[in-house]
């Protein structure tokens, strides 16, 4: 599995659930990828929850977790800037970066929606834009994901926490590669 496939799998895991099989396959793929890189994958609670739940239960828990709890909203701009004008500037910069690299996401989500951002990272990885991807993570993503992960402190047993933790671990390892290997 490639890093592009891992980012795409994480994006599928953190989108509104459409099919259990997609979530289970994505979780298995990310687990394998993280293990291959000597990163302890945190996804066991997520995989167990998906395997034991119906699609309706997954959807209900997703909405209860992400839509009704601002501390764990999947919008990175909220975690970075709250609700002020800096958030608007952040959203504009994300859209500009998407356009600069030819990324045209489907749907109508805001550009700071975590699954959309992970999809963009997959897009950059597919194009072998490694330096640009790592800079984007450092400049626009990692701090937001870290704050999102902290938001789960009041929900430590949420299965979605482990999916967010996996995204945080992958982004952190990916951006650290930049610092160790080459300047971005």
Q: What is the mean pLDDT of the chain?
A: 93
Q: pTM (2 decimals)?
A: 0.93
Nearest-angstrom CA–CA distance, 94 and 63: 25
CB atoms within 10 A of CB 116: 23
Q: What is the pLDDT of residue 120?
A: 98
- The model's pLDDT over 3-26, given as tens digits with 9 standing for 90+, comes to 999 999 999 999 999 999 999 999
pLDDT of residue 161: 97
Residue 183 pLDDT greater than 70, yes or no: no
For 108, the domain range is 3-181
Largest CA distance in the chain: 46
Residue 182 predicted with pLDDT over 70: no
Percent of the chain with pLDDT over 70: 96
Supply the CATH number for residue 75's domain: 1.10.3480.10
Q: Calculate the alpha carbon distances from 74 to 13, 30, 77 in Å.
A: 12, 19, 9
pLDDT of residue 1: 87
Give 95-140 pLDDT, tens digit per residue.
999 999 999 998 899 999 999 999 999 999 999 989 999 999 999 9
| Domain total in the chain | 1
91: exposed, middle or buried (C-beta count within 10 Å: 0-12, 13-18, 19+)? middle
Instruction: Identify the helix (H) or strand (E) that includes residue 175.
Output: helix 159-181
Percent of the chain with pLDDT over 90: 89
């Amino acid at each position: 599995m490639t890093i592009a496939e891992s980012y795409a799998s994480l994006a599928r895991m953190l989108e509104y659930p459409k099919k259990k099989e997609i979530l289970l396959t994505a979780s298995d793929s990310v687990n394998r990828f993280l293990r291959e890189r000597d990163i302890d994958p945190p996804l066991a609670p997520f995989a167990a929850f998906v395997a034991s739940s119906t699609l309706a239960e997954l959807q209900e828990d997703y909405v209860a977790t992400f839509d009704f709890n601002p501390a764990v909203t999947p919008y990175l701009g909220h975690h970075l800037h709250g609700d002020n004008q800096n958030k608007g500037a952040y959203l504009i910069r994300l859209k500009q970066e998407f356009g600069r690299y030819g990324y045209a996401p489907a749907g109508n989500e805001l550009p700071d929606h975590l699954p959309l951002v992970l999809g963009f990272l997959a897009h950059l990885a597919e194009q072998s834009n490694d330096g640009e991807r790592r800079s984007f993570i450092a400049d626009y993503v990692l701090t937001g994901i870290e704050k999102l992960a902290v938001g789960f402190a009041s929900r430590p047993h949420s299965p979605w926490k482990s999916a967010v933790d996996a995204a945080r671990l992958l982004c952190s390892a990916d951006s650290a590669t930049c610092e160790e290997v080459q300047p971005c």
